[in-house]
Each structure stands twice: as structure tokens, then as C-alpha cells.
Structure 1
Amino acid sequence: MDEDALEYHRTAPPGKIEISTTKPTNTQRDLSFAYSPGVAAPCREIDADAGEAYQYTTKGNLVGVVSNGSAVLGLGDIGAQASKPVMEGKGVLFKRFADIDVFDIELDLDDPDAFVDSVAAMEPTFGGINLEDIAAPDCFTIEEQLRERLSIPVFHDDQHGTAIISGAALLNAVEISGKDLADLEVTFAGAGAAALATARFYVSLGVKRENITMCDIDGILTTQRAESGDLNEYNREFARDLPEGDLADAMEGADVFVGLSAGGIVSQEMVRSMAADPIIFAMANPDPEIGYEAAKDARDDTVIMATGRSDYPNQVNNVLGFPFIFRGALDVRATEINEEMKVAAASALADLAKQDVPDSVVKAYGDQPLQFGPDYIIPKPLDARVLFEVAPAVARAAIDSGAARVDIDIDEYVERLEARLGKSREMMRVVLNKAKSDPKRIALAEGTDETIVRAASQIVERGIAEPVLIGDEDDIRGTIANLGLEFEPDVVDPESGDYEGYADHLYERRKRNGVTRREAASMIRDDTNYFGSVMVDRGDADALLTGLTNHYPSALRPPLQVVGTADDADYAAGVYMLTFKNSVIFVADATVNQAPDEDVLEEVTRHTAELARRFDVEPRAALLSYSDFGSVDNEGTRKPREAARRLREDPAVDFPVDGEMQADTAVVEEMLTGTYDFTDLEKPANVLVFPNLEAGNIGYKLLQRLGGADAIGPMLVGMDEPVHVLQRGDEVKDIVNLAAVATVDAQDEAY
């Protein structure tokens, strides 16, 4: 492990972070803006109004991670220089989870006053200060003085991070155990910075101060010890008028144990002495005060257990807090991180743990079950939703409490946060907002599948559509109950209702294709794909999603046979939207037409351009080949060339289109405006129409896997009613996204 870690850090370039430019620096003009003489303009603006630094510099997204290395977790007082890898690592977490930039500052200063003066002098540089690994009691003094002197947030994560995350766990543990915060008897092992901050925070959440018993290495913190001078000015606030005693005495009858001390100091007997259904947060690292299995096995009732370790359920990990708390604070230009903001963060985390967990998170943690209950009371660090829940909650609390310099619209803020995590989220937000403006009735053909049920729950929760689950009603209701979901979907059971009209409809559609009336009735009863297709074709639902548990061609066949293509379409096609960091392209056809001729290519281009506009993207289409504008002339290159000619000459086509052309020609602006300056494309194409199914399917997968693109789809175009065929293995988010696309399709009066 050590050698691997050393190799990780020393591999060129050494360390874990770097500075990169965010503006172009390719020309002399660019450089004149970046530095002299152009840089004088923002300097003058900031000189006139210091607040303009947030507008013209990185201040609003820059945090200083500051330490003197006097109390590094697991290493102790190793000094400023040796602590640098830890501070760089903290910067990595800020960037990875909340897109916040960091300068790590290691100060070789033991004097608290000198430390405070040095940090205070750097206030113009940063939007916030994260204090890290500073020994108690100096950490209290340093944070207090900096909070008084600075008008930007100052946050000692070692104190408040643990408090907030364990506070979120406490809120949910109390709910599960049926207890009340005000009635809890809480015992702390440890009386250092983290323990004191956590105890204070629990009081903010509703725990009574007089119900907190705190122990240090010498036993219970009592008023007698305080009066004798045995306690410092900080931990004496939790001294109680109790008899002298040790940790075992303090734990007897306690509802909650909070360990922030040393490993192995709690026995099973001590756990058995606690009140019914105890809550145990054993957070010493790397070894907890009592092991997870030992605590669970000590009693027959419910023990809700959390530790600081990732190999057990309910890890209290500070990365669930500080990146998102600072994100919310920075984005409203907060002057501080106050108690209201901390409580808001804990409450948001607690609420998130009650929501359905995305498949991507479940997979990241080895497919272990993650469902609200004793073994899942706080979210996992890799759950991207933490950003969208905690940061807005903190921002709102800052505004409401008067700590914010600027007011923001929280709904718009969530959209900006999503854009930080990738173009795909930004693009889907456009469609999701459109869907929510007028939700439609979406038939889900595989209604008994657990993933479909979970997706339906999210569709309802987010107001995207009105899902109709098709399948055995008892199975569907049972799945909802087993998953602990709280929603009442519309369920249609083909075997329990009178659907003779559906059988008649299918028979009329397929009687000249060898389907008898009896066979039609059997297909309606036994095949939910046919049932859903008829439901949409009759107008009993506005759109259909199917295919999660079927091979794509098998799932596509019933909708094609029943719903068919639109009046102005002869062909359907499968389109993927591929999103990159700063761009988006639509790729067709990737799923349906194996060897399209010029008629198919022309029509697919039209439909794909229409789809792009549903995402508020103005289409620029290129029909691809291995030839550029006739450089190779054969049957294969003539098809896209002819399709492009027809489109260019059609006055009804109101978007630029050209071809045939090679893929690099289509996406490299210098080639379009230089070598091929005659083309109708003045900018790189964002609609790429491939010459056949093999090329389209291979192309989108290469772009996804090697180009780092996020893929959304396949989205079916050209159908008479909105129908989309899922792919086997799609996750809940994929289904929700396609439900939104289907809803927007259904809103279009052209359907």
C-alpha cells in the first residue's frame, strides 16, 4: 500500500494538482488581455469596487486550505512541509466533488497570533478559508479570531465536518429508532476539537445540553473537575454535576454513543448497558472504539452503527460536507458559514438518504443494497446528488440568515450546479424543464421490473410525467412495498381487465400479416410490448417506453407493427445525443436501418435536426462518408452526396446541411472554412448522419468510450406516436431521461 501510494504521488508531474488556464491564450491578442495591457481594465474596476473581484477574478471559486501540520490525522504533529500531500489531497476533493479551485497553504507557524495574521493578510485572494489539521486548543482560537477579522467564510473542517455529517446520521437514526432528539441521553468519548464541535452541533439540532455526558481519558467531565482547573476553557462547557466516573459509567443507560477518541475502548458489555435500540457512532480512525460486528452482536435489538471506515455501512465521511457547504457559501458570496447553514447541510443530507439511490452509486459500492434503514442513514460520497441537495440548502440558509451578499433563484442555481458536472446534465435539464411544464401519460411496458418501478417513482417525484406501469398488479405493488417507495402509480394489468377492444385493435392492424383474432387476444394478454403499443396507438397513453428486458430488435418490432411511422415519415431511426465538456452532437442512425439509401439518409437527417431543436440546439448537419465532396465516386459515396443535395435544395430545410464529407471535415472548423470554404457549414456540424448502421453504432461507441462523451439515448425518431426503446442494462436515470424526451415529444402537436 505504501509503495503504491508513493508511486501515485511521485509519478510525473509530482503531486496531485495543477493550475490550468480558463481563457484562450493562442494569439497575441489573447495574451494582451490575460496580462499587460488589457489586465489594467479589471484592475481599475476592482479598485473602484472591491466586490468586482468576484466578477473579474477567480476569488468567487477559490478556497485556501490552510494548515501548520500540527495535528494531521493518524500522523500527529508532522509540521507544515510534511502536511502538504494532505492539503493537496483536500484540494483534490474540493475540485472533484464541487468544482472548487484550491490553493493549499502550509504555514510553518506555531504561534496562533502569527498564524491568524498570515491568513488574514490573504483575504483578498480567497472566497473562503478551510482550516485543516491544526491542534487543539489553538484551532479554537485561530478559527474564532479569523471569523471575527475576515468577511469571507472560515471553516475548520476537523471540527465542523464531523459534526455535520454525524448530525445528519443522528437525525435519521432517531427517526428509525422512534426516539426524540430532546429526550436523548448522549455520551461522548473524547473531548477534543471534533467532539466539542459535534456536541455543540447536536444541541443546535435539538439535543439538550444537560443530556450530554462527555468523557476524556481521565473520565467524565464533571463540574468538580472544572472547578479544580482540570478542564480547559473550551471543554468545561460540557462539564456536568455528576459523580466521578469512567466511560463505562457514562454509557450506562445512554441512547447515543459518540466516539471521537481511540480504537478499542468500548466493550460489548458497555454496549449492552445502553438503552434500548442504541445509536453508536464509533468514529475513531482507523480503528473504531468498538468494531461494527462486535457492536451489532452485543445485543438482540436494533443497533444503529456508524463508523469512519468505508468498509462498513454508514461511513461518517467529511467529504459529504465541506465541498458542498463551501459551494453553497461561495455562490452567494457568504460572509461566514453560520449555524443555520450547518443545520441546513445536515438536514439536506438526512433527507437525501431517504431517496431512491441511483444505480451508478449502487454499482460503485459493489452492488450492496442501499435503502433507507439502520444500515443506510447517510448518503455515499460518490452520490452526485449530494451537490444538488446540500449546496442549494446551504445557499438558501445563507440568504435567509443574512450571511449572503447576493440573492439567487434556487431553481436556477440547481441548474447551474448540474452544468458544472457535465454538458449532458445541462442538456437534459432543458428537456426536463419542458417535460415538467406539461406532463404526459407514459406507458412503461415492463412495469414489473424493479428498475422500471424505481424509475416510475422518480418520474412522479420530479413531475416529469404520469407513468402507467403495465404488468401483474400484485407483483408491481409488492415491488413498490419491498423498495420502500411512497407513490401510487397507475397500474394496468392485461390479465385482469377487459381489453377485448385492444385485441380488436391489434387484429385490425395485423390481420393481413397472418395474425388471427385469437392470436391477437393472446398477444395482448401475454406480451406487454404489444399491449403498450396498442395503448399508445389508441390514445390511452401519450407515449411508450419499452425494451429494458428485451433484445432491441425484439422490443422495436411491436411498436413498428402497431404504431408505425409518422405520416410524413417512411423510416424510423435511433439517435444518440453525445455530450462533451463544451459541445454536443447528435448521431444517427445507430440502431435501426442497416443499409440506408439516399431516401433514408435524407429523412433521418430531417428527423434528427428536429430532435436537436427539442434540446434547444440549432442543427448543423453533415452526412458522413470516407469521401469529401466527390473525391471518391462510387455507389456508397453517392448516397449521402445525393441526400445532402436534396436537403440543400429543399426550401423547407431551414438548417445548414452538407455532404458527403469525412468525419474530421465535419467537426474541424479550419477545414470547413479553409480547404472546403464552399461548404454550407460555416461551423462544425452537430448532427452527424452516418452512412450505415455499422458505422453509426461503432462511431457513437468510440466517441463515448475513447472520447469521454456521455451518451443519452437511443431516441427513436420518425414514429407516428412517441415511442422509445430502452437498452438492456439501462439505469434508472436513463429511463427517467427518455421519459422526459417522450413527454416533450408528446407535447409536440405534430404527433
Structure 2
Amino acid sequence: MGVRKSTDYRKHTERVIRTLRLVIKNKPGNFAKIAKVIGDAGVLIGDVTRLRVDPNYIVRDVTVMAKAESVIDLLVGEIEALPGVRVTDVLTDALEVRRGGLLGTATRAEVSSLEDFHKVIMPGVYEACEYLAKTPGDVEVFTGKRHMVAIASNGTLMPGARQEAPEACLPLLEAKGLVLHQLSGLNAVPLVIALDEYYGFVNIITHIARTFGALMLTGIAPPNCLQIEQRLKDALPIPVFHDDSNGVATAVLGVLIAGLERVRKLAGDVSVCIGGCGVAGPAIARLLSAYGFQDIVVVDRRGALYKGRKGDEGTHKAELGAVTNTFFQKGNLRDVIKSKDVFVGISKAGALTKNMIKSMAKNPIILALSIPQAEIEPHEAYKAGAAVAVDAHTCATALSYPGILAGAIAAKTKHITDKMMIAASEALATCAKDIDAVVPPMFDTSVHQAVCKAVCDAAIK
């Protein structure tokens, strides 16, 4: 029986989504002409919403998806050239959905009477504070601490990051907080720490951490992110989770467990090439090794990492090279990937070619996770012979961090260990296999409940 190819990849590479607000003369056939112009431009039509109708004109919002902003610009000109049609606005959906912010504050009790006021504010609040001063261990029982997760960043890993505008990372923090709440029920508080150096960042978080049940780090550039993560893990009495590294690693391992079963290979028997050694690469290599993968080679811009490589002294790359690449392979990605069973990419768009995939072992697994564009599009990887191919739109950290944080908080653990992340990956793989896939449905809350339970059980055992 042949290997079944996964269907959870994108056949199209459209990434630019815009909404065109059109004022159209109320005449039969006008919208059909607009639709033809859009189709002839190679652009996809999404939602069409009628906003207003009068005897003379119809106002519609038409969502379109194109491969580039320049295509949208040309399309607008072609539509405006049609008689009886005006484009009054081009709306960016990614900004419109954020108007006013993605997060808010929801209360868990009401104050609608003087009696409520007495219980909640005065004098009730003093009684609560006095009790917790004497019994601090009950703070999670009588406050919302265990439901609160701080999501912290200094914005240095974000596109176009500038020291004078670290708050530009707020959309990222709010988006991750929204996903966290919807998939786990936890509440998120975004924190922008406007400091590049790790000591000041750690100092601020250390002094405010008692407000929260857990901390998630994201959007922090290496190497500071590694130092910040480790120092906070050592200092804080709450679980610390670095989404850009451990979140990626957990999702990757989950896909690989399901993918290897599909191609009938074992973790200890396959060879893995990891393309990229920034934030996620070391975490992926470490977690795969902890699971049982033995032949792992990490490749950066200078080629394969190996023990004693010149120029790596005193860096995380030296540490990584010392525990991977046991056969001392050398060369660039094109050289190293030959005969490998698995490729995990977290590097740059276009880094992987069809010929590279053809040089790999039979039925290779391709995880092309570069953002915003993959090392190779999944449908192109399949054409080159991949048995499994996914990108970052399906193998995303949203699969891992909601359940992991919920499980760690439920278990009242101070540390999120490799054992807990492996349990999360195995739960993801099981959920995927239940629907004959390699990636489970991201927005199915039962998936995140399964991850939460697996993590909690692993923490307690």
C-alpha cells in the first residue's frame, strides 16, 4: 500500500488579503464585469457584503486575495476603469480586525447593589487582603491569578523592529492572548518590556510575576532570548514557556510522530536535517533528541554544526554542535540533506528546492516552517516526492502553547519539562491520527483539552 499524502496544505500561495469598498451603478451585469476583472487578474474573491442599496447605486465590500500588494494596486486601477464603478477604499483586514484591540477585561462577578459593593470593595476587600496576608498559599483560590498568563516581549524579533517603538509588537501579543483564551480559557495580559539587554528585562518580570499563573515569552531576538528564558526559569515560582522555541519544538515533534507512523518509520532509525539555528532550531534539536531521534544535523548559514567548529566558541551553537551531528557531516544544506528522512526548516523562504527533496531518502517528511513564506510551498514539496509536507500555517505554535500552559497551571508545577512537552506532542499526534491526518484541527478545543490533560498527567507523575 502506498503512502497517503496529507491534504492539509495550501494549494495557493495567496497571502495579501484586502477588502475593496465599491460603489457600483445599480445596473444588471455590473458586478459580473467586476468579478471577471478580478478573475482575469488571477485574484481570488472571498466574502461579498452588500452595505447599502438605493435606486442609483449599490455599495459592496468585496474581499480579495492576491499574491502581492502590487497585484492589488493593479486590480484597483482595472476596476476603476470600468464604467459605473468607483473604488472608495481599500481596507486591510489585518488592521480592521484589530481596531480597538483584540483583548479586553471580563469580570467574574457583578457589583449591582450596595450589598455587592460591601462584599467586593469595602469593607470586604480588607478582609480578603488580611486573610491572604496570613495565608498566601490561598491566593490562587481567592483571586484570578491561576487564570492569568503574562505574554511578554521586547519586540526585537519582530519585522521592522525599532528600539523607539517596541510597542509595535502588541498586535502579536494580543493575537496570542486571544488564541490562548479561546482555546484554553486562560486570560492573557500583554507586556511590552522596552529593554534590549536581558538583565533589565529579567528584573522587571521578576518583580511583577506574582500577579500571574504563568509566563509566556515571545518576539525576543537571540541570543538574549535564551538568557532571558533560562534566568526567568531559575528565578520565578511559576512556569515559564518560550513560545518561539519550545512552542515550535512541541508542534514539530507532534507532526513528526504522526508523520513517521504514516511512512512506517521509527524515530531512532531516521535521520533529521534542521535548517536554521536561530530561536527554534536548538529547542527542536533538544526535544527530538529527548524523544529518541539519534541522527540530527543542524545547518546554519555557514553550513553544518559539529563539535569544535571554528567561530562557534562560547556560543549556543558550540553547545548544539557538541550534542548533534555524531557522524561529523560537513557542508551546506544541499550537501547535508542528501539521504535524510526528515527536513525541519526554520530559516528563510526558498531555502529548500525540489532537487534537494529528490536527493533525500524515500518518502521524506518536510516541515517548511519559515515565516511569512516557507522554504518550499507544501504542494511543491509533494511534487518532488514528499510523503508529508506542512508549513507554519498548519504546524503552528497555537497547537501547543494553550494546552501546555493550561496543563502546567493545573498541575501547579514550577517548570515545564521536556517530559511534559513530549506528552503534549504525543497528544497532538494522537488527535491527528484519529482523523487520519498528521496535524490535528487547530481550533478544535478537544485537541487542547487532550494536550492539557497529557501535560498535567506528565507533571504529576
In the aligned structure 2, how far is the partner of 1:277 from the partner of 1:179?
A: 10
In the aligned structure 1, how far is the partner of 2:433 from the partner of 2:354?
A: 30
Of all paired residues, the percent bearing the same amino acid is 31
In the aligned structure 1, how far is the partner of 2:233 from the partner of 2:306?
A: 30
SS in 1 for 2:433: coil
2:316 to 234, 238, 249: 234
Distance 1:51 1:108, change over 3 A: same
Q: How do 1:153-164 residues align onto structure 2 when only pairs under 5 Å count?
A: 153-164=239-250
SS in 1 for 2:414: coil
> Post-superposition shift, 1:177?
1.1
In the aligned structure 1, how far is the partner of 2:351 from the partner of 2:223?
A: 24
What one-letter code is carried by the residue in structure 2 that aligns with 1:381?
M
Deviation per residue, 1:425-455 (Å, 9 max, x gap): xxxxxxxxxxxxxxxxxxxxxxxxxxxxxxx
**Does residue 304 of structure 1 match 2:401?**
no
In the aligned structure 2, how far is the partner of 1:292 from the partner of 1:25?
A: 53
2:381 to 295, 302, 308: 295
In the aligned structure 2, how far is the partner of 1:75 from the partner of 1:168?
A: 31
What one-letter code is carried by the residue in structure 1 that aligns with 2:319?
E
What one-letter code is carried by the residue in structure 1 that aligns with 2:332?
D
**Aligned residue number for residue 452 of structure 1:** none
SS in 1 for 2:376: coil
**Aligned residue number for residue 347 of structure 1:** 426
What one-letter code is carried by the residue in structure 2 that aligns with 1:41?
E
**Aligned residue number for residue 393 of structure 1:** 454
**Does residue 51 of structure 1 match 2:130?**
no
SS in 1 for 2:92: helix
SS in 1 for 2:127: helix
**Does residue 337 of structure 1 match 2:408?**
no
**Aligned residue number for residue 435 of structure 1:** none
What one-letter code is carried by the residue in structure 2 that aligns with 1:8?
V
SS in 2 for 1:64: strand
Q: How do 1:184-333 residues align onto structure 2 when only pairs under 5 Å count?
A: 184-208=270-294, 211-225=295-309, 228-230=310-312, 233-239=315-321, 240=325, 242=328, 244-299=330-385, 303-309=387-393, 315-333=394-412
In the aligned structure 2, how far is the partner of 1:243 from the partner of 1:103?
A: 45
Distance 1:75 1:381, change over 3 A: farther
Q: How do 1:533-572 residues align onto structure 2 when only pairs under 5 Å count?
A: none
What one-letter code is carried by the residue in structure 2 that aligns with 1:5?
A
**Aligned residue number for residue 381 of structure 1:** 442
> Post-superposition shift, 1:243?
5.2
> Post-superposition shift, 1:3?
2.2
1:6 to 95, 116, 119: 95
Deviation per residue, 1:45-87 (Å, 9 max, x gap): 2111221110110101100011100102x44557421111211
What one-letter code is carried by the residue in structure 1 that aligns with 2:212?
F
In the aligned structure 2, how far is the partner of 1:332 from the partner of 1:31?
A: 34
Contact 1:71 1:135 in 2 (8 A): yes
In the aligned structure 2, how far is the partner of 1:182 from the partner of 1:77?
A: 44
> Post-superposition shift, 1:231?
5.5
In the aligned structure 2, how far is the partner of 1:387 from the partner of 1:269?
A: 37
The higher-RCO structure (CA 8 Å, 6+ apart) is 2
**Aligned residue number for residue 112 of structure 2:** 26
**Aligned residue number for residue 88 of structure 1:** 174
> Post-superposition shift, 1:305?
0.9
Contact 1:260 1:284 in 2 (8 A): yes
In the aligned structure 2, how far is the partner of 1:36 from the partner of 1:3?
A: 47
How many residues end up aligned between the 2 structures?
367
**Aligned residue number for residue 403 of structure 1:** none
**Aligned residue number for residue 140 of structure 1:** 226
**Aligned residue number for residue 217 of structure 2:** 131
Contact 1:158 1:194 in 2 (8 A): yes
> Post-superposition shift, 1:213?
0.9
In the aligned structure 2, how far is the partner of 1:178 from the partner of 1:399?
A: 32
What one-letter code is carried by the residue in structure 2 that aligns with 1:61?
H
SS in 2 for 1:261: coil
> Post-superposition shift, 1:123?
1.9
SS in 1 for 2:209: coil
In the aligned structure 1, how far is the partner of 2:312 from the partner of 2:453?
A: 43
Contact 1:146 1:154 in 2 (8 A): yes
Which structure is larger by alpha-carbon Rg, 1 or 2?
1
Q: TM-score, normalised by structure 1?
A: 0.48
In the aligned structure 2, how far is the partner of 1:257 from the partner of 1:387?
A: 26
> Post-superposition shift, 1:224?
4.3
SS in 2 for 1:9: coil
What one-letter code is carried by the residue in structure 2 that aligns with 1:9?
R
1:173 to 249, 259, 265: 259
Distance 1:188 1:76, change over 3 A: farther
In the aligned structure 1, how far is the partner of 2:351 from the partner of 2:216?
A: 31
In the aligned structure 1, how far is the partner of 2:318 from the partner of 2:388?
A: 29
Give the gaps of 5 or more residues in structure 2.
1-17, 19-90
Contact 2:184 2:445 in 1 (8 A): no
SS in 1 for 2:422: helix
Contact 1:186 1:254 in 2 (8 A): yes
Q: Please report the RMSD computed on the Cα atoms of aligned residues, expressed in angstroms.
A: 1.6
Contact 2:240 2:415 in 1 (8 A): yes
SS in 2 for 1:105: strand
Contact 2:308 2:318 in 1 (8 A): no
SS in 2 for 1:199: helix
Q: How do 1:689-700 residues align onto structure 2 when only pairs under 5 Å count?
A: none
Deviation per residue, 1:546-601 (Å, 9 max, x gap): xxxxxxxxxxxxxxxxxxxxxxxxxxxxxxxxxxxxxxxxxxxxxxxxxxxxxxxx
SS in 2 for 1:200: helix
Q: How do 1:408-557 residues align onto structure 2 when only pairs under 5 Å count?
A: none
Contact 1:71 1:77 in 2 (8 A): no
Contact 2:345 2:369 in 1 (8 A): yes
In the aligned structure 2, how far is the partner of 1:323 from the partner of 1:258?
A: 23
Distance 1:232 1:173, change over 3 A: farther
In the aligned structure 2, how far is the partner of 1:174 from the partner of 1:232?
A: 35
Contact 1:98 1:387 in 2 (8 A): yes
Deviation per residue, 1:291-324 (Å, 9 max, x gap): 212211113xx52111112xxxxx1011111111
SS in 1 for 2:215: strand
Contact 2:269 2:293 in 1 (8 A): yes
> Post-superposition shift, 1:219?
1.1
What one-letter code is carried by the residue in structure 1 that aligns with 2:423?
A
Distance 1:131 1:108, change over 3 A: same
Contact 2:274 2:344 in 1 (8 A): yes
> Post-superposition shift, 1:7?
2.5
Moved segments of 4+, more than 6 Å: none
> Post-superposition shift, 1:384?
2.1
Structure with the larger strand share:
2
SS in 1 for 2:141: helix
What one-letter code is carried by the residue in structure 2 that aligns with 1:237?
E
SS in 2 for 1:354: helix
